[in-house]
A and B are shown apart, each in its own frame.
Chain A
Amino acid sequence: MGAPAAAVISDSELIARYQAGDEDAAAELVRRHAEPLARFLAVQGAPDDELEDIVQDALFKAFRSLGRFRGGASFRTWLLTIGSNLLTDRRRQWKRRPMLELSPEVADPSADPASEAEALWAAERLAEGLTKLARLQREVFLLRAQQGLAYAEIGAALGISDGSARVHYHHAVKRLKGWMA
Chain B
Amino acid sequence: MDGVNELPDYLTKALETLDARSARAAARVDAERVAGRVLARLRSEPVVAVAPRRTWTALRIAAVLAVFVTGGLFVRAVSDWGRPATVAALPVDVPESLSAQQATAVLDAVAASTDSAAWTATVVSVEDLNEAELRALLRAMQSDMEGSL
Binds B, one of A4-12, A90-98, A143-151: A143-151
B119 shortest CB reach to chain A, Å: 61
Question: Beta-carbon contacts of A66-79 to B below 8 Å, as 1s and 0s?
Answer: 00000000000000
**A75 to B95, alpha carbons, bound, how many Å?**
88
Binds A, one of B14-22, B72-80, B122-130, B132-140: B14-22
Q: Is the CB of B83 closer than 8 A to any CB of chain A?
A: no
Whether the pair B1, A148 counts as a contact (CB closer than 8 A) is yes
Whether the pair B35, A123 counts as a contact (CB closer than 8 A) is no
Q: Is the CB of B67 closer than 8 A to any CB of chain A?
A: no
Whether the pair A146, B34 counts as a contact (CB closer than 8 A) is no
Whether the pair A126, B4 counts as a contact (CB closer than 8 A) is no
Q: Identify A106's interface contact among B1, B20, B30, B38, CB under 8 A.
A: B20
Residues of B within 8 A of A51 (CB): 25-26, 28-29
Q: Is the CB of B54 closer than 8 A to any CB of chain A?
A: no
B51 shortest CB reach to chain A, Å: 13
Q: Identify A122's interface contact among B17, B19, B37, B41, CB under 8 A.
A: B17
Whether the pair A149, B27 counts as a contact (CB closer than 8 A) is no
Given A34-B35, A119-B14, A173-B11, residue A147 in contact with residue B3 (CB < 8 A): yes
**A6 to B93, alpha carbons, bound, how many Å?**
105
Within 8 A of A (CB), among B65-95: none
The chain B residue with its CB closest to the CB of A68 is: B50
Whether the pair A120, B17 counts as a contact (CB closer than 8 A) is yes
| Interface of B, helix, strand, loop or mixed by DSSP | helix
B interface residues, tally (CB under 8 Å): 38
| Interface of A, helix, strand, loop or mixed by DSSP | helix
Q: Is the CB of B149 closer than 8 A to any CB of chain A?
A: no
Whether the pair A63, B34 counts as a contact (CB closer than 8 A) is no
Q: Is the CB of A157 closer than 8 A to any CB of chain B?
A: no
Q: Is the CB of A88 closer than 8 A to any CB of chain B?
A: no
Q: Identify A42's interface contact among B7, B26, B33, CB under 8 A.
A: B26
**A51 to B22, alpha carbons, bound, how many Å?**
10
Contacts A64-B42, A102-B18, A103-B21 aside, 13 further interface pairs with beta carbons under 8 A come to: A23-B39, A23-B42, A34-B29, A35-B26, A38-B22, A39-B23, A51-B26, A51-B28, A52-B34, A102-B21, A122-B13, A145-B7, A148-B3
Residues of B within 8 A of A144 (CB): 3, 6
Residues of B within 8 A of A126 (CB): 11, 14-15, 18
Most buried by A among B22, B25, B39: B22
**A38 to B10, alpha carbons, bound, how many Å?**
25
Whether the pair A39, B19 counts as a contact (CB closer than 8 A) is yes
**A23 to B11, alpha carbons, bound, how many Å?**
42
Whether the pair A35, B3 counts as a contact (CB closer than 8 A) is no
Whether the pair A26, B19 counts as a contact (CB closer than 8 A) is no
The chain A residue with its CB closest to the CB of B2 is: A148
Within 8 A of B (CB), among A37-83: 37-40, 42-43, 48, 51-52, 55-56, 59-60, 63-64
Pairs of residues from A and B, 6 with the lowest C-beta to C-beta distance, nearest first: A148-B2, A42-B22, A38-B26, A123-B17, A39-B26, A30-B35
